[in-house]
Amino acid sequence: TRDETVKFLEEYVFGIEKFHPKQIELIEEFCLGKNIYLSAHTGFGKSIIYQGIPWFFDCVNEQCLGVSTLIVVSPLISLMEDQVKYLKEKTPITAVAIHQKTENLDSVLDDV
């Protein structure tokens, strides 16, 4: 169910106490094919929205976790690298940053 999926993401994927209602609303809307937009202050948890989308989508569609892939485009290399580092250290999410300085690009793309 939706509530079980949310609880699973909170506890086992992100290790947080509770999503903001707006975070879940936006994740659900995106998974329904809607365009989403959020402008929020630093620390609100914007990143967790796009990080949670593939997991939520897989759970509600009863697919194996990790089947879906989400591509995030950012002009800031340091932000991409920080996000990948966080995801690798704190979550079971597989993530890579691809930019003009990426070494072994073919190998990285094979991993994705």
Provide the 8-state DSSP code for 17.
S
Kindly state whether residues 16 and 2 are assigned to the same domain. yes
pLDDT at 50: 82
Mean pLDDT, 10 residues at a time, over the chain (112 residues)? 87 90 92 87 88 84 74 81 84 81 81 71
Domain ranges, residue 7: 1-67
* Cβ pair 72, 97 in contact under 8 A: no
Kindly state whether residues 4 and 32 are assigned to the same domain. yes
Kindly state whether residues 40 and 3 are assigned to the same domain. yes
Kindly state whether residues 61 and 78 are assigned to the same domain. no
**Residue 34 appears among annotated catalytic residues:** no
Kindly state whether residues 1 and 47 are assigned to the same domain. yes
d(CA 25, CA 53): 11
Kindly state whether residues 62 and 38 are assigned to the same domain. yes
Q: How many domains would you assign to the chain?
A: 2
Q: What is the number of helices (H) and of strands (E) in the chain?
A: 5, 0
Residue of 46, 85, 88, 101 with catalytic role? 46
Kindly state whether residues 95 and 75 are assigned to the same domain. yes
